[in-house]
Each structure stands twice: as structure tokens, then as C-alpha cells.
Structure 1
């Protein structure tokens, strides 16, 4: 029997697509996602298939949703004798933890949003390399029933501190929004703690981007990622 992976070596796989109208580029899309350097294990093969699917979904989204908008903007600019626009969409990733049999990262997209402002999205993934499956957030709070309350209370404290210091601004009713828009899939591991985040616009204006809160590993109830999960 092969020993389970302690780390997952990967390399970026970059692919690009371009769509044109009347021979002129109106939309370009760049996708950079991780590809396991070795696929001998079932976990590595499963992870490779997962990000291959994410890549295909990204390009399908660009063609189905962004391309019609890009074509409409192109023809509107042509009729008004304005400079011809070219929309751009990007999908990338950042590995944040890769040790102790756990592999964690986030993927992020950037595209043109309302009035040309950038629209950002993020997705977190944390994988158990021995099983080859994502780990639910609650598994890092073994035996803790109020793990969600712990995260919400921590985020509320951080928001209060940031607003008092004048370093960030949130919506007026951010406390209700914290609960309403919490998603247990929106997390990843870092060296400093467990990071969980909210979608752009959910709890703060667009200037704040994607709000991220990092719960330190010393917090009571939070399992260290290098520790073995309970049986």
C-alpha cells in the first residue's frame, strides 16, 4: 500500500481563449489553475479532474454570459464612434497551505462588472490528501456545536475594530448580513489561521473587495491543521 500524500506538488496550467466580432477581439479569457505534478495517487487524479472541470465551466461561463455583453458593447461603441472595448476575464489561484496531508487554496476570478468596475469572486478549497476529498469547515471544530457562532463573533469583532480605526467601511446592517451571507464552503487554511471570507458586495461596498477574516489557530475549539482529525 502506498503511503498517503503529505504534500501535493503542483504546477500552473495556463490556457487562454479569445472571441472576436467582425475579426476584432471583443473578449479574452485567461485561466490558470493547479495541475498535480504527479498523478499516481487516486487523490491527485481526483484533484486534477476537479480543476479540469472548473476550467471548462469558466470558459463556458465566459461564452454564455460575458460574450453577449461584450458583443453588445462592441456594437454600441461602433454606432457611437467610441473606442472599441475588449472585455477581459481572468481565473487564477493561490495555494495557502500544503503540508501535513492537507492542501488548501483559493481560486479567484476578475471580470468587468457594472459600469466597468472590476467584479471579483473567490472560492476556497481544502483537500484531505489521504482521502482525496474536500474537508468540511466544521471538521476543524471537532466537538464544537457553536463553531459557526465562533466565526461570526470573531468577524464582528474584526469589523468593529477596523471601522473604529478607520481602515475599512462596511454596510450599515453588516451584522445581519454576516449571518445571512455566511457560507461554510468559503474558507481556506493559512499559516496564521483559518481564513473565511464573504462575497464582494455582501457585507461591504465594492471598495473593500472580498472581506477576509483569519481566525488564529490558538482559538479554543479550532483544531490545528497539522493535528490528526478525531477518529
Structure 2
């Protein structure tokens, strides 16, 4: 079994007196009763990813924010700080199996920011990351069946909320389907798509529950 602590890297970066860039990177730290060496490797994976994201914030994104902010040196009108936020949610944590997703929100000016989702499912006995095929064996027939299941769910949603998905959602589901875009929950699997893959921004990150084949 795993217990999870939250670790955070954060800072507010200034140009003169103007807070131009704010980042907050949350990531998990695991303690397990399964395999301590596996937990150390998984913890290092997330720690290194967080440090890499922080370096990108400090060396790339901050410079972009400062470049735009320098044109309003007196902060009038007030500069809307650019932001980078990483959050995570543990969706399954039973025995030696843990599944979670991480959402990265980036705002760099404009009407709104964008969110990118990633997910991981770990075996804390081995320290190995599990794949969709470990829970829903994929071949031509099962993949076709899975995508048809997703299409039917979209059809039902459109009856309730018209225009919440693009008109060509059927072909988009096939073209943008990513077998790495899944996580576990107690009653099965969730397949998700990125913003704009199959739906407009207002729909957010489309998620679909499907039963595990195992």
C-alpha cells in the first residue's frame, strides 16, 4: 500500500516591482509497503520531472513574460501575471497499484490558458509503469470496439449539451486516440483526450469511463 505526500516547487518572479511570472509545481512523494526500491525510483522520476519543469519556467517562460511586461514599466494597466501550475490527482491506490493524472496549466496572455494532461499507473512491486494494454488488451478488433464505445458516449452527451464536441468527433477520436492517455479508477478505466482534440475549449478535458477487460 502507498501513502502519498505532496511536494511543491514554487516562486513568484518579478521584473522590477511587477510580478510577471508565477509557478507552482505540485508532485507526489510515495511511501510504500511493497518495494522501497521501486518507490525510490518512482519518487526520483517525479522529482526530476518537477525540476525540469521548474528550469523551463525560470529560463524560458519567465523571459517571455518579462519581454511582454517591459512595455508597461509602471504596471498600468496592471500586468496579468503569466502562470504555470501543475497539479495531480490520485485516482486509484490499492495494494501495490497506484494510478494518477497530472494537469499542467499554462497561461501566457490571451483570453485563457491551456491545460495538458498526463497520467501514470505504477506497479510498486516492480517499479514499472503499466500500459493500457495491461488492463484492456488492444488489437484491431478491441480497439475498434473501444473507439465505438467512446463515440456512443459522445452521442449521448451531445443530446444533453449540443455543440459540446466537434462535428467530426468520430474521425477525431480515431486520429487522436492515445493509448497512454488513461488512468484507473475503482470501477474501471478512464480514457481521456487533450483539450481541442475532439471538443472545443469550453468542454475541457474530455473523459470517458470504460470497463476494464481484465
Q: TM-score, normalised by structure 1?
A: 0.84
Gaps of 5+ in 1: 1-6, 224-231
Question: Is residue 10 of structure 1 aligned with residue 7 of structure 2?
Answer: no
What CA RMSD, in Å, does the superposition of the two structures yield over aligned residues?
2.2
Q: Confirm or deny: 8 A CA contact 2:85 2:104 kept in the other structure.
A: yes
Which shows bigger deviation, 57-66 or 19-28?
A: 57-66
After TM superposition, the structure 1 = structure 2 runs for residues 90-169 of structure 1, keeping only pairs within 5 Å, are 90-112=85-107, 115-142=110-137, 146-166=141-161, 169=164
1:41-80 matches, cutoff 5 A: 41-78=36-73
Count matched residues: 213
**Alignment partners' CA distance in 2, 1:37 and 1:49:** 12
Structure 2 counterparts to residues 198-213 of structure 1, below 5 A: 198-213=193-208
**CA pair 80-48 structure 1, distance change in 2 beyond 3 A:** closer
* 1:178 correspondence with 2:173: yes
Per the TM alignment, residue 79 of structure 1 is displaced from its structure 2 partner at its CA by: 7.8
**Would the alpha carbon gap of residues 30 and 128 (structure 1) be closer, same or farther in structure 2, given more than 3 Å must change?**
same
| Cα distance in structure 1, aligned partners of 2:126 and 2:176 | 30
Quote the offset at 1:24 in angstroms.
2.8
The verdict on how the C-alpha distance between 1:26 and 1:166 changes in structure 2, with shifts beyond 3 A counting, is same
Q: 1:114 to 1:176 in 2, by over 3 A?
A: farther
Deviates more, 1:84-93 or 1:195-204: 84-93
* Conserved? CA contact 2:117–2:194, under 8 Å: yes
**Can you list the C-alpha shifts for 1:136-181, whole angstroms capped at 9, x where unaligned?**
1111124865332232111101101100122661112111111111
Structure 2: give runs of 5+ residues left out of the alignment.
none
Structure 1's 178 and 103: CA in aligned 2 closer, same or farther, altered over 3 A?
Answer: same
Alpha-carbon distance in 2 for matches of 1:200, 1:54: 22
Q: Equivalents in 2 of 1:72, 1:66: separation in Å?
A: 10
CA–CA separation in structure 2 for the residues paired with 1:152 and 1:94: 25
Asked whether the 8 Å contact 2:32–2:124 carries over to 1, the reply is: no
Equivalent residue runs for 1:26-41 within 5 Å: 26-37=20-31, 41=36
- Report the Cα distance in structure 2 between the residues aligned to 1:159 and 1:193, rounded to whole angstroms: 18
Question: Structure 2 length as normaliser, TM-score?
Answer: 0.90
Indicate the SS of the match to 2:77: coil
Structure 1 stretch 179-188 or stretch 138-147: which is displaced more? 138-147
Change (3 A) 1:156 1:200: same
1:191 offset after TM fit, Å? 1.7
